[in-house]
Amino acid sequence: MEAFPRDQADRCVLCGLCLPSCPTYLKTGDENESPRGRIALMRAMAGGKIAVSAKLEAHLDRCLACRACERVCPSLVEYGALIEAGRALLSSRRPHTRSRLLGGLALSCLVERPRMLGALVRLLRLYQRSGLQRLMRAAGIPARVGLAKLDSALPRLAPQEHWRTVYPAHGATRAQVALFTGCIGRVADQETLRSAIGVLNLLGYEVRVPPAQGCCGALHLHAGRPGQAHALMRKNLTAFADDAEPENGGTVIVHAASGCGATLSEYGRHLPSEAQAGSFTARLADISRFLAQAPWPEGLTAKPLPKTVAVHDPCSLRNVLHDEKWPYALLARIPEIRLVPVAENHLCCGGAGAYPLTQATMAEDLLADKIGHLRRLAPDLVVSANIGCALHLAKGLARVRPAIEVIHPVTLLYRQLRPRA
Ligand code: SF4
Ligand code: SF4
């Protein structure tokens, strides 16, 4: 287990400048639900001054790990490293209840074993398409067996794509890029990945999809399981350790989901003794940034879109990758589009990883604020660069404005670039 970074905790000077950026503090007004409160709690736990209790667990579990506090902290406290280490410590000290053991088992089986995840998705799709889901919901069965949250969080599943290992460029090949597909995104956000491949190909890039890649490790890190997260990270280092274009430092690794990208970008911090980690992170690029900065072939233009598009900034894109301006820059290539940021984009939507399942009340509360902003804005479409946020926002919009789609910026771009079938 990683040692608790006490030096980081000691950097907090209790100034409170992070409080207005912390969604859980703004909702509760409770100091224990604030960054500096949580840092004090973790420091006390690590120093043996307080014991693990249900209250302590609740305060740390309720943190979204959105890292809005880190972005504004004048003392440069690395809150992300603190909360990960704090959760790992908590996980090693709290009792192993049946639900935690089952949760850990589910995480290991599904996220670490893509075939098992694929089989489950096929079964769930059958459950949706056969009408069984509708019947079960009408009879209130998911709620009776304690699966209501899981059932309501389930997106409409599409047939499973069989990803090829190479997607050739249209016309002359400018260069190769590797695509990170992740675990959940690979089965639940296929349109984004297909669009990323499509636009890259149109721009002259050959896209490689290394078959041995897997989950970035984020879900395990957030669950306080750094050992398993590090094993997944090493697997990805090996999967992407090619020697293509070695004179340029290797092929660029493009990621589409900013939540995965944020974790990938910190492999160096997690695996300091892995020589490959530094070159791996140097090769990473968020898809919007990469496409906005890439040279575009002459004659490749997007169809006009005279519509209002609300842009949601995921916390991972904003607070970790610092790439939040690129979706706007990329979508500005679409003539006549009206891009409008969602109000309070600096506050998390509540869709952070498994948060809507583990902290449903707070997740719904934060979602309600976003849906309120979107209702006032009344856009034609919403874009978000992270699958977790997109699914969460789509779930909220489905209740009040079901016609408004939530898609990745690259999907919107691809729809405007793709020749009509
Ligand atoms: S802004 Fe930084 S130093 Fe100030 S209270 Fe928050 S975490 Fe501590
Ligand atoms: S990561 Fe987000 S929720 Fe957690 S303390 Fe920081 S601002 Fe608050």
Residue 161: phi and psi, rounded to 5, are -80, 140
């003392």: which residue's tokens?
75
Q: What is the pLDDT of residue 245?
A: 57
Residue pair 417/302 in contact by the 8 Å Cβ criterion:
yes
Q: Which of 66, 72, 349 to mutate to test the pocket of ligand 2 (most atoms within 8 A of CB)?
A: 66
One digit per residue, the tens of pLDDT, for the chain of length 421 reads: 558 999 999 999 999 999 999 999 999 999 999 999 999 999 999 999 999 999 999 999 999 999 999 999 999 999 999 999 999 999 888 777 666 666 666 666 667 777 777 777 788 888 777 888 888 887 787 777 777 777 777 777 777 888 999 999 999 999 999 999 988 888 888 999 999 999 999 999 999 999 999 999 998 898 888 999 999 999 999 999 975 555 556 799 999 999 999 999 999 999 998 888 999 999 999 999 999 999 999 889 999 999 999 999 999 999 999 999 999 999 999 999 999 999 999 999 999 888 998 899 999 999 999 999 999 999 999 999 999 999 999 999 999 999 999 999 999 999 999 765 5
**Residue whose CA is at the smallest distance from ligand 1 atom 8:** 12
Domain segments of the chain as ranges: 6-93, 98-153, 166-293, 308-417
Q: Work out the burial of residue 400: count CB atoms within 10 Å of its CB; fewer than 13 is exposed, 13-18 middle, 19 or more buried.
A: exposed
Q: What is the pLDDT of residue 357?
A: 87
What atom of ligand 1 comes closest to residue 16's alpha carbon?
5
Ligand nearest to the CA of 66: 2
State in Å: Cα 18 to ligand 2 middle. Answer: 9
∠ CA 312-317-323, rounded to 5°: 105
Q: Work out the burial of residue 234: count CB atoms within 10 Å of its CB; fewer than 13 is exposed, 13-18 middle, 19 or more buried.
A: middle
What atom of ligand 1 comes closest to residue 11's alpha carbon?
3
Sheet with 252-255, strands from edge to edge, namely 166-167, 205-208, 175-180, 252-255, 284-286
∠ CA 217-223-225, rounded to 5°: 65
**Residue whose CA is at the smallest distance from ligand 2 atom 4:** 63
Q: Could you give the CA distance from residue 38 to residue 32 in angstroms, rounded to a whole number?
A: 6
**Residue whose CA is at the smallest distance from ligand 1 atom 3:** 12
Q: Could you give the CA distance from residue 97 to residue 370 in angstroms, rounded to a whole number?
A: 34
Ligand nearest to the CA of 67: 2
State in Å: Cα 167 to ligand 2 middle. Answer: 39
- Judge: domain 6-93, CATH 1.10.1060.10: yes
What atom of ligand 2 comes closest to residue 67's alpha carbon?
1
Tokens in use for 119? 């089989």
Query: Chain-centre distance of CA 22, in angstroms?
Result: 18
Q: Could you give the CA distance from residue 346 to residue 190 in angstroms, rounded to a whole number?
A: 27
Q: What is the pLDDT of residue 126?
A: 80
Reference 253, options 352, 324, 244, 410; nearest CA is 244
| Residues within a 6 A CB radius of ligand 1 | 12-18, 35-36, 69, 73, 75, 77
| Residues within a 6 A CB radius of ligand 2 | 21-24, 35, 38, 63-69, 79
Domains 6-93 and 308-417 share a fold: no
* The architecture CATH gives domain 308-417: 3-Layer(aba) Sandwich (3.40)
State in Å: Cα 64 to ligand 2 middle. Answer: 6
State in Å: Cα 63 to ligand 2 middle. Answer: 5
State in Å: Cα 322 to ligand 1 middle. Answer: 19
Q: What is the pLDDT of residue 354?
A: 85
Q: What is the pLDDT of residue 151?
A: 75
Q: Which of 77, 82, 83 to mutate to test the pocket of ligand 1 (most atoms within 8 A of CB)?
A: 77
Ligand nearest to the CA of 62: 2
- Beta carbons within 8 Å of 20's beta carbon, 6+ residues apart: 26
Ligand nearest to the CA of 222: 2
Q: What is the pLDDT of residue 213?
A: 93
**Residue whose CA is at the smallest distance from ligand 1 atom 4:** 15
Q: Which of 28, 67, 84 to mutate to test the pocket of ligand 2 (most atoms within 8 A of CB)?
A: 67
State in Å: Cα 342 to ligand 1 middle. Answer: 26
Q: What is the pLDDT of residue 195?
A: 97
What atom of ligand 1 comes closest to residue 15's alpha carbon?
4
Q: Could you give the CA distance from residue 258 to residue 66 in angstroms, rounded to a whole number?
A: 12
